[in-house]
Chains A and B, each alone.
Chain A
Amino acid sequence: MSVVWPAVRLQFQLLRTSNDYLLELVRAPILGLVLLALAAYHDRPDLVPNAVVAPVMVALWGTGLLAAGELIDVDRELGLLEPLIATPAPFPSLLLSRVAATSALNGVVLAEVWLVAAATGAPISVRHPLVFVGALVVTAFAMVAASLLMATLFLATRTALPFQNSLTYPLLVLGGVFVPVDSLPGWLQPLGRLVFLSWSSDLLRASLRPEPVAQPLARMGVVIGLGGIALGIGLLVLRRVLRRVRADGSLRLT
């Protein structure tokens, strides 16, 4: 029994009616424009990859976090969570499919940012296409996994918003989205290396620079590994949380 495609279709239908996600599509090119202007003003063409990668990663993290919080919260508020759990459909597959569908938005963000870069005449080109595509794929996987883990967290705690707000910027900094983790204070660096965003950002930036990329496969492996860990923990916790809400009757909002 496959609920993957119906869940993806549902998510696209819902996305079309939601303004929250639209906001990401508006914010990303503006952020790109600002960062590209900074690089141009200071005459630092070497920073153009940073200016292009940052808005994409910000949007990726933003939509991932939004999806994680929204899927559960909106369903719960609409009174859908209980009838949903009562169906034979596997809840984790539903969540994963819907989060994955949402992450497809980031393809649009990528295109937007690229167009902005092209329109402003920023010197940008993909020097290592295989690394670039590979990094995008493993990043999408890790983001979906991270979203599932966070959605599970939100289901367990019954509050998404405070988490969403407090997870946004710290993780973007820790994840080396604007500046590489290597330039963070030394004591923060090991922490940043635990966040897949840091490996993804470094890889994407490197794929846009002329210098050869060191150990691309190993670094992609790290992203997959971190994503796999998040997925494993997410699925495990989800099973327990689903059991727990059935036991204590906390599935309903009120």
Chain B
Amino acid sequence: MTHPAVLTENLTRVYAARRSATTVTALDSVSLRIEHGEVHGLLGPNGAGKSTLMKLLSTVLLPTSGRAEVCGHDVVTATKAVRPLISVVFGGERGLYPRLSARQNLMYWAALYGVCGRVAATRVEELLDRFDLRDRASDRVETYSAGMRQRLHLARGLIGNPRVLLLDEPTNALDPAAALRLRQTITEIAAQGRTILIATHDMHEAEHICDRVSLIDHGRLIATESPHALVTRVQVPTLEDAYLSLVGPSS
């Protein structure tokens, strides 16, 4: 494949505030190229524009200027081609029907990606097994722990067999052991050739699972390189130190 998994060129998004003339430039001329099979971390303080980038790539938000491609398809003009290739997973409680079971949630989501009938049932059971949810698959999601819910989120993200998985803070509610397992899973998913874009505030996590990271601040891309290269360049011991020295301790 000659097209990268994700390509952005001067991607810019400006939000107009409601009932006022002020605007917020959430993403400012970001150019980024992410190859297939890469785990790419998005780092940056609150409000840096990480989620905005995810939304632009997942076609739920339109850019103000610049462009973005997923596997060579433009997110604005070729929306129909992009949607089957991507999947978004947001962290936390949201994104599932709490009164339905894991199996019911997954079956519905499979259908949304055009996966139906026996194929869907097989894939759902595989994912339930893989994410250790089989025993509780018929229970209502509202009775799940945060960790189980997070795993279900990831299973939901994979149900459509996406080429590119967008994970927005997927480990923010997990205990250290659960977060570790999730990281291992993310690495496995990438090993299957899928591309993962992961927004996180956990520098330790980013250092361990990301092939490369992008540092964003105030909508601007201030660095894109491997965690190791970044640490070496800034001449600090850890990625967290590199982050703090580039973004500043408070912003």
Residues of B within 8 A of A210 (CB): none
Contact A249-B15, Cβ < 8 Å, known A2-B116, A89-B113: yes
Residues in B whose Cβ lies below 8 Å from that of A248: 15-16
| CB of B160 closer than 8 Å to a CB of A | yes
By the criterion CB–CB under 8 Å, are A82 and B60 in contact?
yes
Given contacts A10-B108, A17-B100, A88-B84, contact A83 B59 (CB under 8 A): no
Contacts of B55 in A (CB 8 A): 82, 249
> CA A6 – CA B110 in complex, angstroms?
9
Using an 8 Å CB-CB cutoff, how does the interface string of A222-251 with B read, 1 for contact, 0 for none?
000000000000000000000000111101
CB neighbours of B108 from chain A (8 A): 6-7, 9-10
Q: Is the CB of B60 within 8 A of A6?
A: no
Residue B90 contacts which of A5, A7, A79 (CB distance < 8 angstroms)?
A: A79
- A14, A79, A87, A246: the one contacting B112 at CB < 8 Å is A87
Closest to A87 in B: B112
Q: Do A246 and B83 touch (CB < 8 A)?
A: no
The residue from A7, A82, A88, A94 contacting B88, defined by CB atoms under 8 A apart: A82
Q: Are B60 and A246 in contact (CB under 8 A)?
A: yes
Please, which residue of chain A has its CB at the minimum distance from the CB of B24?
A: A249
What are the residues of chain B within 8 A of A7 when measuring CB–CB? Answer: 108, 111
Interface range on chain B (Cβ under 8 Å from partner): 35 or more
The docked-state distance in angstroms from the alpha carbon of A14 to that of B108 is: 12
| Contact yes or no, B100 A3, CB < 8 A | no
Segment touching A, from B31-39, B91-99, B196-204:
B91-99
CA distance A247 to B87 in the complex (A): 20
Q: A3-B112, A82-B88 are in contact. Are A251 and B60 (CB under 8 A)?
A: yes
Contact: A86 with B100, CB < 8 Å?
A: no
Would you list which residues of chain B between 202 and 222 have a CB under 8 Å from chain A?
A: none
B107 near A6 (CB under 8 angstroms)? yes
* CB <8 Å contact, A86 and B104: no
Query: Looking at the complex, which one of B58, B62, B80, B107 makes contact with A86 (CB distance below 8 Å)?
Result: B58
Give Cα distance in the complex from A6 to B114, angstroms. Answer: 10
Which of chain B's residues 146-187 have a Cβ closer than 8 Å to chain A? 160
Question: Which residues of A92-126 have CB atoms within 8 Å of chain B's CB atoms?
Answer: 94
CB of A214 within 8 A of chain B? no
In the complex, which of the residues A2, A83, A89 has the most CB atoms of chain B within 10 Å of its own CB atom?
A: A83
Min CB gap B137→A, angstroms = 14
Asked if B223 lies at the interface with its beta carbon under 8 angstroms from chain A, I say no
Contact in complex: A14, B116 (CB < 8 Å): no
Contact at A10–B84, with CB atoms within 8 Å? no
Please name 6 further chain A to chain B contacts, defined as beta carbons within 8 Å, in addition to the given A6-B110, A6-B111, A89-B113, sorted by A numbering: A14-B100, A83-B58, A88-B80, A89-B111, A246-B61, A246-B62
B interface residue numbers (CB < 8 A to A)? 13, 15-16, 55, 58-62, 80, 83-84, 86-90, 92-100, 104, 107-114, 116, 160
